[in-house]
Homo-oligomer: A and B are copies of this chain.
Amino acid sequence: MTVRLSTAEAYGRLFDDYDTWLFDCDGVLWRGDHLIEGVVEVLDLLRRRNKKIVFVTNNATKSRKSYKSKFDQLGVQAHVDEIYGSAYAAAVYISSVIKLPKHKKVYVIGMSGLEEELNEEGILHLGGTDSADNTLEPFDLSQFELDPDVGAVVAGLDTSINYTKLSKAFQYLTRNPGCHFIATNEDSTYPTSAGLLPGAGAIGAPLRYALGRDPISTGKPSSTMLDCVRAKVHFDPRRTIMVGDRLNTDILFGQQGGLATLLVLTGITSEEEISGPEPSPIVPDFVTQSLGDLRV
Contacts and interface: CB of A to CB of B under 8 A. Distances in A.
Contact of A163 (B135, B161, B211): B161
Interface in A159-202: 159-163, 166-167, 170-171, 174, 188-189, 192-199, 201-202
B161 A161 contact: yes
Contact of A192 (B136, B141, B207): B141
Contacts of A201: 209-210
Contacts of A199: 210
Nearest to A135: B136
Contact of A210 (B134, B192, B202): B202
Interface in A23-76: none
A206 interface: yes
A139 interface: yes
A7 interface: no
A198 B163 contact: yes
Contacts of A159: 138-139, 163
A212 interface: yes
A78 to B, nearest CB: 26
Nearest to A138: B159
A140 to B, nearest CB: 8
**Copies of this chain in its oligomeric complex:** 2
Interface size class of A (residues with CB under 8 A): 35 or more
Contacts of A205: 202, 205-206, 208-210
Contacts of A144: 194
B160 A160 contact: no
Contacts of A203: 206
A275 interface: no
Contacts of A206: 198, 202-203, 205-206
A89 B142 CA distance: 31
A188 to B, nearest CB: 5
Nearest to A142: B194
B197 A170 contact: yes
B163 A163 contact: no
A131 to B, nearest CB: 10
Contacts of A196: 170, 174
A207 B197 contact: no
Contact of A197 (B141, B158, B162, B211): B141
- Residue among A159, A162, A188, A194 facing the most chain B CB atoms (10 A cut-off): A159
14 contacts: A135-B136, A138-B159, A141-B192, A141-B194, A141-B197, A166-B202, A170-B198, A188-B211, A201-B209, A202-B207, A202-B209, A205-B206, A205-B209, A206-B206
The 6 closest A-B pairs by CB, nearest first: A202-B206, A205-B205, A205-B209, A141-B194, A142-B194, A202-B210
